[in-house]
A and B are shown apart, each in its own frame.
Chain A
Amino acid sequence: MSEEHGPKSNIRYAMVIDLDKCTGCMACAVACQEENNQAFYEDETNKNRSVTWLKVFKLDNQKSYPGYEEQFLPRPCQHCDGGHDAPCSSVCPVNATKRSIYTGIVSQIYPRCIGCRYCMAACPYHARYFNWWDPDWPGDLEKELSPLVSTRMRGVVEKCTFCNHRMMQAKNKAIMNGEKGIDPDDYVPACLEACPTGAIVFGNLKDPDSDVAKLSKSKRAFRLLSKLPTKPKVYYLSSRKWVRDLADHRR
């Protein structure tokens, strides 16, 4: 439930990605794969089947050489803040996905998902992925599986969780240290941690001193599909008008 429909929370986790700092290096995408035990197949040709929670799109201005320009856009789950629930979680029949009233994070409980894929139909960002096959970690590759993130079996939907498990770890640490709130430095998603240019910023949108709060108000800021009432919590920054226009399919 969003704020209007539930108790007020001081925390709304959001992300700001500065596209002018993104070189399309893919460190964020690969770190996300590794952190979250994402499945990989022998043939990843079909990108409708490939599981990529953080997908890096290559945008271009459709002009001819040498007026041609490109920009890369990493797209995690947008953790939509609109309505009484995010589009995906409002249609889940088993509450496998829910937006937290406390943090704004749209989480996913993989073992609870029954694989109806209603959420995938609902998500306008195509940020959700279905396990069409049983994930396989042949040989010793199984050793790289992290116990902090549930593994998924065939028939289950998965998506970016803003590294929710890292927040839980930060919470545990705060509790053990007898502190009230988590230390922001202890909760950093894997993509941000990997990024070598600092293009990704993460934090509490309701904290006016946070970088995300300030950057979300930048002149360069825009969100994807802003004409929809999804109210995504991932803001993008770009100084190129053609990039900002693409967010709403304007050319």
Chain B
Amino acid sequence: MKLTRRSFIKFAVGAVGGIHLTPLPWYLMDDAAIWSQNWWFRQVPKKGALTSATTVCTLCPGGCGIEAGLISEKRAIGISGNTSHPVSMGAVCPIGASGPQFTYGLSRVKTPLKQTGKRGDRSSFKKIGWDKAIEEVGAKLASLGGNGERLAAVGGARGSLSSELFSRLIWALGSDNLFRVPSSADSEELASLAMTGVRAPFSYDLVNSRYVLSLGCGVFEGWGSPVWVHQTLFGNNGETRLVQVDSRMSPTAAAADRWVAVEPGTEAVFALGMANVIVQQGLYDRGFVGSASGFGEFRRYLAEEYPLDFVSDLCGVEPREIVSVAREFAGVRPAVALWGRGKGSMPDTLFSAMAALALNGLVGSVGARGGVLPTPQPPLADWPDLAEVAPSAQSPKSYLDFLSSIEAASGPEVLLINQANPAYGPVAPALFKKALAKVSTVVCIGSYMDETALSADYVLPADAFLETLDGAVTPRGMPYPVFSLVSPALERLYDTKPAGEIILRLAKAAGDSVAGGFPWENWEEALKARAQGIVESKRGAVSDEETAFAVAEGKGVKVAPNFGDLDELWGKLGESAWFDPGQKLAVDFQTNSGRFTFSAAGLKGIGLGKKNGFPRPLDAPLSGDPKKFPLILVPVELLIMPGESLGAAPYLVKMLRDDQLTHNDVYADVSPRTAKKLRLKQGAMARLATPQGALIVRVNLTEAARPGVVYLPVGLGHTAYDKFLKNKGANPYEVLEFLKDKETNEVSWWGARASLSKV
């Protein structure tokens, strides 16, 4: 064949076509892929020995024991549960699982900072050394000369010893302007004080409950100690019946055995409606009620104020359903009623907490197996008495009144904030921000550049998750005393210190009279001094896997101390928690009568309880003209959005569905019936207005929502933090109504009147 150009091209095309009919190109592609798979352009995280360190999660008050998976003991690559810890028993919640992102997140404050320009201007924060920071803030505290009015403080979560140390600092400085972040535990404490004589929030012996009535609690959405609650309620092989009383089909209602749909905010009234049925049908526990006091008056109160038709109307529930649940509740023993909306920390009225406790009393579930009891504390040694007079912490000051008073007149000179973010929430952030302007010096102890840190004059950065040293006492809702050592699993990343250490140094720098009340060299010594109490009590034991699981299975477990002295206890606390599961559930009633009491009269001793009997629900609960604001806005706490105003990690924000957040728009859940009346389609932008303000949201139409109610998730709408969270969504705390319980001065909030209109 003559080789012409044409024949060459024909041959070449034929060859290429032919090759493609063979496996050759495909095998070459395959080989090339394999050949290049180990080349240099692969990013390989640094290898190292895989070890683990046990500690306790600090991302919520749940107090779960965790194991951090570490590489070369230097960096954390994952979090799992500590199988020997009695709270978590080897599991975690999504927040704990995302923990390393809280340690390594972009919003960590890396050194002490001083604001040298305008407050709120991030760029004019200047680094200062610890010594200088402590000296300057200490000097300001000393200059207050013990005048308590010149100082105010907002503290963080209950249950941590660093928070307790913070309270102590404020009292030592002579001030009673200490505001702990309000929670339902505040009114629970007072309800317990009134009815049992023991001042503590509610705990529940859930392992042994066979009927659990949740009065609007987010049982599987972060309530109490979330992992423990999940483990316990699903650990009974389906023997426990869970009934959710809630206005919406929440994840808890979805997992429950029965859902009772009620008007939002009426859960406590529903409880008393049930109580009335139980009393009238004679279904109450005669033994327990017979040995209680105030029943006669309580019975009359129920009959007069909570007849079936009235409760049915208010709650929006058929009378027969109220009777049905009442009969079920009284018919299954042990039964228990849970209180605490959302994650159990939405603060509410004394009335509501007492309603729940009274319902439990009627069926004999107070201080009994499977019932409710005042949260028992571990036998830690007391803090030494303060030389200065501690204030009347008995009668709580109203946080709202306090903020309003600052706004109206002049403020305290120094405002100290410890591991809280009041400029974001949960109570009246708008009011807080206004009040800030009147304060001369704002000092923030925390780990993140959040809204409050951004508005501060000094930011004293605390060690974060996995770095910090602290003590954690009995988590919310647990029925036996627990003490966990939060020990560092990692060396700290930045120039930070444990919050407890920072507070201690401030105390020592605030003048001799204050320093005298803080005699320890360092924070670890202070923690050990308190742990000594456990050694001396000769009770309980540090848990192991077998014991933790046996307790979780409801087996009556008696433990004896497995430590001889403090060193031994301290060493063991590095592996698991101390607890005393054998501690009796029975309550030693400390009321005047020495008996369980169905009234608030016992609070007179602390200047409360103006009425003799049972408190009433708040009058005119929500302000605003129902014609102008025909809907009710209810904030919803999601398990994946951390509480305590802590900003969510990137993995958590990622978990939000596209009917919860798209781009920077949060979705408010609304019933399709309501949306139709308002001519709002799925995804439409809307103006959500309340008498307190307005937010722009998108609407998500769902039959999970009760008609007439708008649900907005909590935890978005941050204006600080970093690109993964900042400016996403809206903050319901800006528009909710914060009510004051006239009985107790405590803050209460659960919603607001609202309107939705097209934008």
Contacts and interface: CB of A to CB of B under 8 A. Distances in A.
Interface of A: 21-27, 29-31, 33-35, 37, 40-47, 50, 52, 56, 58, 60, 62-66, 68-72, 93-96, 109, 111-114, 138-148, 150-151, 153, 169, 190, 193-199
Interface in B88-113: 88, 90-98, 100-101, 103-106, 108
Contacts of A62: 703
A45 B662 contact: yes
B45 A139 contact: no
Contacts of A138: 106
A144 B100 contact: yes
Nearest to A26: B94
A34 to B, nearest CB: 5
Contacts of A52: 654
Given A34-B79, A139-B104, A147 B48 contact: yes
A190 B261 CA distance: 36
A111 B35 CA distance: 10
Contact of B230 (A25, A64, A93): A25
A147 B234 contact: no
Interface in B637-677: 639-640, 650-658, 661-663, 671
A144 B80 contact: no
18 contacts: A24-B254, A29-B655, A33-B651, A34-B97, A47-B658, A60-B703, A62-B703, A66-B259, A111-B38, A140-B108, A141-B650, A144-B76, A145-B77, A146-B71, A153-B42, A190-B80, A196-B93, A198-B234
A147 B654 contact: no
Given A94-B34, A196-B91, A139 B106 contact: yes
Interface in B560-609: none
A145 to B, nearest CB: 4
Given A25-B220, A31-B80, A194-B92, A40 B43 contact: no
B80 A194 contact: yes
Contacts of B663: 43, 45
A27 B66 CA distance: 14
Interface of A is mostly: loop
Given A147-B71, A148-B50, A193-B80, 6 more contacts: A22-B255, A27-B91, A30-B95, A31-B78, A93-B26, A147-B45
B157 interface: no
Contact of B251 (A23, A33, A68): A23
Interface of B: 26, 29-30, 33-34, 36-39, 41-48, 50, 69, 71, 75-81, 88, 90-98, 100-101, 103-106, 108, 220, 226-227, 230-231, 233-235, 249, 251-252, 254-255, 259, 261, 493, 639-640, 650-658, 661-663, 671, 703-707, 723-724
Given A25-B220, A65-B707, A197-B231, A35 B91 contact: no
Contacts of B723: 42
Contacts of B45: 37, 142, 145-147, 151
A30 B94 contact: yes
A23 B230 contact: yes
B98 A70 contact: no
Nearest to B707: A65
B706 A65 contact: yes
Nearest to B64: A196
A31 B251 contact: no
B447 to A, nearest CB: 13
Given A65-B703, A144-B75, A153-B43, A72 B34 contact: no
Contacts of B235: 198
B651 A30 contact: yes
Contacts of A113: 33
Contacts of A148: 50, 77
